[in-house]
Every structure is written in C-alpha cells, then in structure tokens.
Structure 1
Amino acid sequence: MGDLESNRRSLLMAAPLLLAAIAAGDKSGAGGGIKLGPPPKTGPDPRETFVQQYDQIGFQPWGNLPPHSGEMAKLYGDFDKPGPYLVLMKWNPGWFSAPHSYATDRIQVVVFGTWFVNSGNEFQPQDALPVGPGGYVKRTARTPHYDGVPANQPDPAVIAVFGVGPVDQLLIDPTQPSFRQV
C-alpha cells in the first residue's frame, strides 16, 4: 500500500479519536469549547448512545508491570484480538517503556498531562519529545519506539490509544525489563 493510502487510512482512523480526546480534555467548560445549552433531562437512549464520564472509567494495572508505573482502561475492543480498539493509558511520572514495536499502526492523542516520546533501538529517555494535551502521535507498525513520563513531571499523562489488533508487541531487547524507572 502506498504512503498516501496509508496516511489517508491513519487520518480517517484518527479523526474520531482526536475529537473524543479534545472533548474529554476540557473538563471546565471554559477554553472555547462548544456550548450546546443545558444537558437533556433524560439523556441519550443507552441502547443507542453509551456514555461513560471520565471519573467513572475504571483504570487497571497493566498486566505484570511494576506497581504504580501506569494503568489502562479498555474502552472499546481488545488490542490482543482482531479488530479496532480504544484504550486510555495513564503513565505515572518516573516510568518509561523499553524500546518495542507493534504489528499495526497506533494512533494516539494526549488527553491530560505531558507524555514524552522517542523512537529507535537505543533507550535515551532524556532525548524524548514532550507532547502536551491534544497532541497527536502516530506509531508506524514495526518501528521501534518508547515513551513515558520523567520523574520530574508533576502529574501523570493520560493518552487515548486507537488501533487495530492484535498488536503483537515485541521488545527490542527481551533480556531487559519492559518498563524502566527513570
């Protein structure tokens, strides 16, 4: 598939995620958000429109990763099974993933905090690029990368991640831990 078609597909997949992340990011009602008047008294029909407020989302530890390193909330689908998925990942300060890759592209939008991203086989978190709320990151399939939140950051970062499973994560150096304290 050509680069143009791949980029078009990624943008089409990213549009709903970006809109959802931007809407979720403005909890105050200020900052130029669209105001549609008071909420309806009965709300949408839950058989047609599912709504879950941020404070009702259940974050869980990420498998067997170190305690307090991060949490995940699976919102739609499953990244270990075929089909689309959407998760929220919460990275706590002081933790980075080790260099790894995925079998499929991933579309990511920072919802809260600042997330630090880098690519390559060598783990150099000090060179990671900060990405703030609303920032968009596309990870290309089978390219090595790593990310996290340095210890000197005051708050965790929450990232909305969309893709198509299964992701088939591969560590670049499987002899090293998959998460590293920095």
Structure 2
Amino acid sequence: MAENSMSRRELLAMLGGIAPLLLTGGVEASPIDTNQTMYTLPADIKFTPQDGAPPQSVESAFLYSHPSKQGIYYALLRWYPGYMSAPHSYASDRLCVVLSGTWWINSGADFDPAHTVPVPAGTFVRRIARTWHYDGVPRGEAGPVTIAICGIGPVDIRLAEPDKPLARAV
C-alpha cells in the first residue's frame, strides 16, 4: 500500500469521528448581523399604488433607493389584469425579471396591446435606454404579474403621448 493512502479502517474511524458533527449540525453558526446582511421577508414588502394610476392597476414596492434618485435602484412592480402602460422611455437601461404571472410586452411608440408578447415567470427583459415600449396584463388574464426592476436613476420617464395617462385600461 502506498504511504499516502489511507487504510479502510482509518477511513472508517475518521468518518465515524465526524459523523456526529454532520448529523447534529456540529458547530453552531453565529447569528446574522442585519447591519451587514439586510433582508425583507415577502410579508413585509409593501406595495403602493402608483401616483395617478387607477386603483388596482399598477403598484410599486421600492426595495432599494428610488427611481427618482441618483444611482442604482431596485423595485418590484405589479400590473393587474386589464391595465397596461402607455408607450414610454427612460434615460437609462432597465433590467427586469418576471417573478410571477405573465407580463405582456412590446416596443414602439404605437400602442397596440393586441401585438404584445407574453413573457412568463423567470424571463429576463432588458429595456434599452430611450427606446419606446409598453407593457402590462390584458383583461381576462388569471392574475397580476410581478416584475423585479433594476436601473440607474433618475429615470427621466418620457411618454410618447404626453397628453394621455401612463396607465391605460385595456
């Protein structure tokens, strides 16, 4: 037997010695330091209606900073069935992930909900700065969609039709 090899008896003795640690968890972990690792449980995330939008149309939850402030922000957006955004653009890219439900998206300044594309939970969507787009959930869908959005603020939102509201019934 080679010098570096371990006999079967030695291996079993070693494993037998650490087995109690593996089964009981062994070493006790230190408590989390919420000054270093911050978290918000789902029940504690508060969605609020967007300003000027009809009730039960679109809501936001700002998890980190705010799109109106300078720098990175992270938010959740929830669209309810029967509502979509009007064509709009932002000053910087927005990175989006569909968390639940189906989000219906399109690009262009011509608002045509019939030509939106459904993207299910798990889909990544990148909105390119200063390109027109719109999205939401058409009437008749089973439930709302929740999207995680990250970007650089301030967003400087622009509407393709500034005389019309951002949230539209469809």
Q: What percent of counterpart residues are identical?
A: 46
Deviations 1:35-94 (A, max 9, x none): xx9xx9875211111111112101011112111101100000111111000000011110
**Structure 1 residues 124 and 42 mapped into 2: Cα distance closer, same or farther (>3 Å)?**
farther
Aligned to 1:123: 111
Count, aligned residues: 144
- Stretches of 4+ moved more than 4 A in 1? 40-43
Deviations 1:104-154 (A, max 9, x none): 000000001000000001001111111111100000000000000011111
- Which structure 1 residue ranges, 5 or more long, are not aligned? 1-36
Output the TM-score relative to the length of structure 1: 0.76
Q: In 2, Cα distance between the equivalents of 1:126 and 1:153?
A: 14
Aligned to 2:55: 67
Q: In 2, Cα distance between the equivalents of 1:76 and 1:138?
A: 19
CA RMSD of the aligned region, Å? 1.6
- Which structure 2 residue ranges, 5 or more long, are not aligned? 1-24
Output the TM-score relative to the length of structure 2: 0.81
Aligned to 2:136: 148
Q: In 2, Cα distance between the equivalents of 1:41 and 1:66?
A: 48
What letter matches 1:150 in structure 2? P
**Structure 1 residues 41 and 67 mapped into 2: Cα distance closer, same or farther (>3 Å)?**
farther
Aligned to 2:38: 50
Q: In 1, Cα distance between the equivalents of 2:30 and 2:81?
A: 40
Q: In 2, Cα distance between the equivalents of 1:74 and 1:170?
A: 20
Bigger Cα Rg? 2
